[in-house]
């Protein structure tokens, strides 16, 4: 997927002018925030579970190599195959090879951000293989030729009328006068169309929410059951998962699952939670004949042992973006790559380089709401700040910002100079502010006064007044 993160500002302005998008983003609050709060409030041990979930992942990351090896052994014992992929290119190549072995024409996919990360659909299309997304939201944006704008609600930016128009455009073989006025009728149509694809598919590709070292299982969580059909019906099931998805035991999965859905959608559990261990065994009524796991690194191992390791605790619940005022304002596409919102602001520079995504860690007010809702207690603002430090060290910020900051710091570091300068500047600015005591335009503060008035200062600084004992008492004018 092409990275447009360097254009974040332009992307954002465009998003702010998109009336339809703005309306759609309004649904995020009703859809996610209140439900998460209710779900968390209803579970007395929620905070303790967050601690436990964090500890499980921290422990796993500290021994990642051991758990991955144990996992591989178990998968192999169950009759499956593990493929190690260092880069996106490696992963795509391995998947294509598996598809070619099957002479595959059609591949079904259960929603997986990791296949977005490796841009799998376009790659398979070039090789003449049709990849069909089976998650409703993913299916909709696939029809639209778009990418997800949210990691669990990929089409959150699209409204019902747009979906109707897309269905009528693409499903042109269906009766033109059919009723598509209700979400239910749209859902029915998607289900009918996708059902045929499940049976047609030669290979089913899913992501994994977790990989379990103890059993060699992959775990997927969905609300539509599409992931189950994707991995059960075709001859071959391919799991694509990044290395940090591993957890030691089934008990660990059980604990983390308890915070996952509550944080994401406010559900106690997702509708479907499915564990897959190897291919169909003798006597099994169904299941794939082959079971492959692609373990993707793609930059993650370079985060281990750094100040960004904690990011690898992320379980992709989307709570951070649901609660982020910046994400609310501009939507997910503005972030310009696969992972939007606060988690993307940390993960994207880690995976594609800060030189290509420098805006993202800066486009935050540091309000801290993301960290306060993160089920894995990932210190997102702290890590964004670490990215900003690396950018600053490498001189990647715009020169005007750097010089402005340096000039300000030169004064802030020298209290006497600072007081002298401000005692001259402030009275001048105050005088300039006029009778209304505010500015509606200021030559050097355009970024502020374009949208807001700037309250004017009083005639003398606090320090001037305090030092000169202007007030009768030191308690100021009464």
Partner 1 sequence: MHTTADEPTTTPNVGLFVTCLVDLFRPQIGFAAVRLIEDAGCTVDVPMAQTCCGQPAYNSGDRKDARAIAENTIRAFEGFDYVVAPSGSCAGMLKKHYPRLFADDPAWKERAEAFASRVHELVSFLADVMGVEKVSASHATTATYHDSCSGLRELGIAAQPRALLGSVEGLTLNEMPDSDVCCGFGGTFCVKYSDISNAIVEKKTAAIEESGADMLLAGDLGCLMNMAGKLKRQGSRVEARHVAEVLAGMTDGAPIGGRG
What burial class does residue 430 get, using C-beta atoms within 10 Å of its C-beta: 0-12 exposed, 13-18 middle, 19+ buried?
middle
Q: How far is the CB of 459 from partner 1 (least distance, A)?
A: 9
In angstroms, give the least distance from the CB of 321 to partner 1. Answer: 14
Contacts to partner 1 from residues 381-440, by CB under 8 A:
382, 385, 387-393, 397, 401, 405-406, 408-409, 411-415, 418-419, 422, 426, 436-438, 440
Place of tokens 């190549």: 93
User: From the CB of 16, what's the least distance to partner 1, in Å?
Assistant: 5
Q: In which region does residue 79 sit, left (phi positive, over 0), alpha (psi from -120 to 50) or beta (all else)?
A: left
User: Tokens 């420098």 sit at which residue?
Assistant: 358
Whether 374 and 315 have beta carbons less than 8 Å apart is answered as no
Quick one: 386 exposed, middle or buried, by C-beta within 10 A (0-12, 13-18, 19+)?
middle
- Output 83 or 369, the one with its CB closest to partner 1: 369
What is the phi/psi pair of residue 444, to 5°? -100, 10
Q: Is 272 helix (H, G, I), strand (E, B) or coil?
A: strand
If the CB atoms of residues 305 and 415 are measured against partner 1, the closer one turns out to be 415
Question: Stretches 47-55, 80-88, 280-288, 458-466: which one binds partner 1 (CB under 8 A)?
Answer: 458-466
- Based on the shown chain and the rule CB under 8 A, indicate whether residue 458 belongs to the binding site for partner 1: yes
Is residue 457 part of the contact set for partner 1 (CB under 8 A)?
yes
Q: Does 362 bind partner 1 (CB under 8 A)?
A: yes
Neighbours of 248 (CB within 10 A): 18
Q: Sign (positive/negative) of CA torsion 57, 58, 64, 70? A: negative
**Residue 374 binding partner 1, by CB under 8 A:** no
Window 219-238: residues binding partner 1 (CB under 8 A): none
- Binding residue (CB under 8 A) for partner 1 from 62, 365, 424, 428: 365
Residue placing its CB nearer to partner 1 in the complex, 1 or 367: 367
User: Smallest gap, in angstroms, from Cβ of residue 387 to partner 1?
Assistant: 8
CB atoms within 10 A of CB 322: 28
Residue from 271, 325, 355, 403 in contact with partner 1 (CB under 8 A): 325
Q: How deeply is 32 buried, as exposed, middle or buried, from its count of CB atoms within 10 A (0-12, 13-18, 19+)?
A: buried
Give yes or no for residue 282 binding partner 1 (CB under 8 A).
Answer: no
By CB under 8 A, tell whether 466 contacts partner 1: yes
Residue 149 within binding range of partner 1, rule CB under 8 A: no
Nearer to partner 1 by Cβ, of 210 and 327: the residue is 327
CA atoms within 13 A on the CB side of 220: 29
Alpha-carbon Rg of the chain, whole angstroms? 26
CA distance 185 to 190: 9
Name the minimum Å distance from CB 43 to partner 1.
21
Q: Tell me how far apart the alpha carbons of residues 179 and 161 are, in angstroms, rounded to a whole number.
A: 12
Count of residues in contact with partner 1, rule CB under 8 A: 72
> Please, which residue, 160 or 437, has the CB nearer to partner 1?
437
**Inter-residue contact 227 to 240 (CB < 8 Å):** no
Least spacing, CB of residue 418 vs partner 1, in Å: 5
Which of 1, 70, 170, 463: binder of partner 1 (CB under 8 A)? 463
Does residue 454 interact with partner 1 by CB under 8 A? yes
CA nearest 358: which of 11, 9, 6, 117? 6
Q: 276-296: string of b/e by CB count within 10 Å (b at 16+)?
A: bbbbbeeeeeebbebbbbbbb
Q: Does 353 bind partner 1 (CB under 8 A)?
A: no
- Tell which one of 275, 366, 403, 420 touches partner 1 (CB under 8 A): 366
Cβ within 8 Å of residue 403, ≥6 positions away: none
Part in contact with partner 1 (CB under 8 A); list of ranges 7-15, 154-162, 278-286, 338-346: 7-15
Residue nearer to partner 1 on the CB measure, 22 or 223:
22
Query: Is 467 among the residues that bind partner 1 (CB under 8 A)?
Result: yes
Query: Of 1, 16, 70, 232, which lies in the binding site for partner 1, with binding defined by CB under 8 A?
Result: 16
- 249 vs 449, which CB is nearer to partner 1? 449
For position 471 contacting partner 1 by CB under 8 A, the verdict is: yes
C-beta of 60 vs 357, nearer to partner 1: 357
What are the CA-CA distances from residue 64 to residues 4, 256, 305, 309 (Å)?
32, 17, 11, 12
Give, as one character, the DSSP assignment of residue 372: H
């Amino acid at each position: 997927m092409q990275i447009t993160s360097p254009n974040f500002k332009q992307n954002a302005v465009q998003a702010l002018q998109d009336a339809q998008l703005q309306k759609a983003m309004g649904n995020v609050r009703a859809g996610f925030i209140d439900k998460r709060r209710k779900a968390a409030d209803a579970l007395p041990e929620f905070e303790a579970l967050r601690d436990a979930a964090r500890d499980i992942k921290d422990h796993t990351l500290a021994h990642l190599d051991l758990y991955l090896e144990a996992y591989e052994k178990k998968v192999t014992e169950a009759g499956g195959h593990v493929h190690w992929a260092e880069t996106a290119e490696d992963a795509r190549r391995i998947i294509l090879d598996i598809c070619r072995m099957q002479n595959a024409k059609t591949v079904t996919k259960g929603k997986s951000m990791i296949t977005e990360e490796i841009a799998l659909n376009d790659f398979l299309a070039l090789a003449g293989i049709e990849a069909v997304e089976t998650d409703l939201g993913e299916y909709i944006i696939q029809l639209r030729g778009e990418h997800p704008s949210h990691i669990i609600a990929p089409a959150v930016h699209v409204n019902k009328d747009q979906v109707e128009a897309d269905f009528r455009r693409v499903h042109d073989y269906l009766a033109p006068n059919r009723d598509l006025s209700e979400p239910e009728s749209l859902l029915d149509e998607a289900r009918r169309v996708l059902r045929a694809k499940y049976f047609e598919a030669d290979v089913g590709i899913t992501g994994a929410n977790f990989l379990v070292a103890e059993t060699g299982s992959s775990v997927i969580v969905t609300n539509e059951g599409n992931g189950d059909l994707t991995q059960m019906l075709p001859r071959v099931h391919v799991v694509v998962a990044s290395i940090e998805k591993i957890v030691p035991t089934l008990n660990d999965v059980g604990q983390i699952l308890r915070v996952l859905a509550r944080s994401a959608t406010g559900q106690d559990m997702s509708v479907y939670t499915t564990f897959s261990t190897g291919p169909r065994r003798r006597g099994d009524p169904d299941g794939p004949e082959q079971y492959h796991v692609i373990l993707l690194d793609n930059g993650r191992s370079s985060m281990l042992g750094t100040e960004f390791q904690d990011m690898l605790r992320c379980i992709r619940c989307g709570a951070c973006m649901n609660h982020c005022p910046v994400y609310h304002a501009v939507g997910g596409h503005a972030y310009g790559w696969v992972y939007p919102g606060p988690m993307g602001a940390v993960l994207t520079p880690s995976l594609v380089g800060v030189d290509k995504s420098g805006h993202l860690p800066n486009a935050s007010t540091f309000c801290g709401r993301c960290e306060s809702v993160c089920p894995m207690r990932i210190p997102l603002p702290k890590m964004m700040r670490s990215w900003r430090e690396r950018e600053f060290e490498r001189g990647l910020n715009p020169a005007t910002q750097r010089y402005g900051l340096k000039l300000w710091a030169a004064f802030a570091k020298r209290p006497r100079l600072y007081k002298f300068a401000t005692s001259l500047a402030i009275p001048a600015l105050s005088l300039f502010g006029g009778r209304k005591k505010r500015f509606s335009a200021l030559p050097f503060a355009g970024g502020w006064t374009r949208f807001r008035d700037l309250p004017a200062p009083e005639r003398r600084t606090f320090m001037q007044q305090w030092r000169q004992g202007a007030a009768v008492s030191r308690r100021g004018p009464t």
